[in-house]
Amino acid sequence: MRYKWILFFLASLFLFLYSCDEIEKPYTREKGGGDDSGNGDDNGKIVRKILLEDFTGHKCVNCPKAHKIVDELKADYGDSIITIAIHAGTYATPESEGHFTADYRSQVGGELQSAFGVQFFPAGLINRQDEGALFNSTAWKSEILSQIGQEAIVAIDIMPEFDDGNGTLDTDVTVTFTENYEGAVNLCVFVTENGLISPQENNVEDVGPTPTIEDYEHNHVLRASLNGTWGEPVTSDDILADMLYEHTFSEYEVSEDWNPENLDLIAFVYDQTTMEVLQVEKVALK
């Protein structure tokens, strides 16, 4: 009989502890030993990846050359460089007939163009450094190479689940800092699409036919955000080292105009004051 009471006590204690584990979003818990985020290199160092936000458009004659620069960098450095192609402004405006009827603009892209004062194309934000300084494509390579291989203080893990039946997306995103961080930090989760074929103006023969590449492949096209243009705070409290800040996005309706096979989720965190992107990660939807 004594053993039954002991078992009953242990079961009751477990249920009590479990029931007291509920906290408000974003959920936080202390991280266990080791790096389980998938952000570390072979030595366990968290590598800071580079986010290139490329403001572009299908009527931008210099944009294909800029895209080639990025493709060459990706060939050398792989997923260390993550690109979001933001179609915005007059160069992205569709026509009612003719070559350029495709509309790759998004509400988020228009708001970013306005906020960062983009006046020339192609223009790039590189980790939104220098409070969102814009770089001409001729400077992209040197700026990106100057940041390759830096160590990061934050890791991001993205875990999507797509329901083919009803076209909805559930996503869990965890953010972990390796040290305490002073300042407010936001998390953004964007949706991009690859493999969109439509004409693109071009003035560089080495890149493709001029003045128009009829079957141009548009990649990394910004479609939408799961949590708005500027995202949401990673936490409302002070950021502490080795805490898992967990964000859940439920039943996001994926547009029927998008191909789920070609969609990526891109999550990044940035300092609200300086605008600098501290880390970025990408994962395929399927």
List the pLDDT tens digit at each of the 286 positions of the chain.
Answer: 444 444 444 444 443 343 333 334 455 555 554 444 446 555 678 999 999 999 999 999 999 999 999 999 999 999 999 999 999 999 999 999 999 999 999 999 999 999 999 999 999 999 999 999 999 999 999 999 999 999 999 999 999 999 999 999 999 999 999 999 999 999 999 999 999 999 999 999 999 999 999 999 999 999 999 999 999 999 999 999 999 999 999 999 999 999 999 999 999 999 999 999 999 999 999 9
In degrees and rounded to multiples of 5, residue 95 shows phi and psi of -105, 155
pLDDT at res. 45? 86
Strands 168-177 and 185-193, by their bridges, are unpaired
* Per-domain boundaries in the chain: 26-284
Q: Which CATH superfamily is domain 26-284 in?
A: Immunoglobulins (2.60.40.10)
Tokens of 13: 């204690």
- How many Cα atoms sit within 13 Å of 10 on the Cβ side? 5
Placement of tokens 């992209």 in the chain: 140
Burial 181-206 (b: 16+ CB within 10 A, else e): beeebbbbbbbbbbebebbbbbeeee
Angle, vertex CA 102, rays to CA 58 and CA 253, nearest 5? 120
pTM: 0.86
Tokens of 232: 């949401």
In degrees and rounded to multiples of 5, residue 46 shows phi and psi of -80, 120
Q: Is 183 left (phi over 0), alpha (psi -120 to 50) or beta?
A: left
DSSP string, 45-73: PBB--EEEEEEE-TT-TTHHHHHHHHHHH
pLDDT at res. 41? 54
pLDDT at res. 35? 43
Residue pair 153/278 in contact (Cβ under 8 Å)? The answer is yes
Question: Is residue 181 classed as helix, strand or coil in its secondary structure?
Answer: strand
d(CA 281, CA 286): 16
β-pair partners for 30: 243
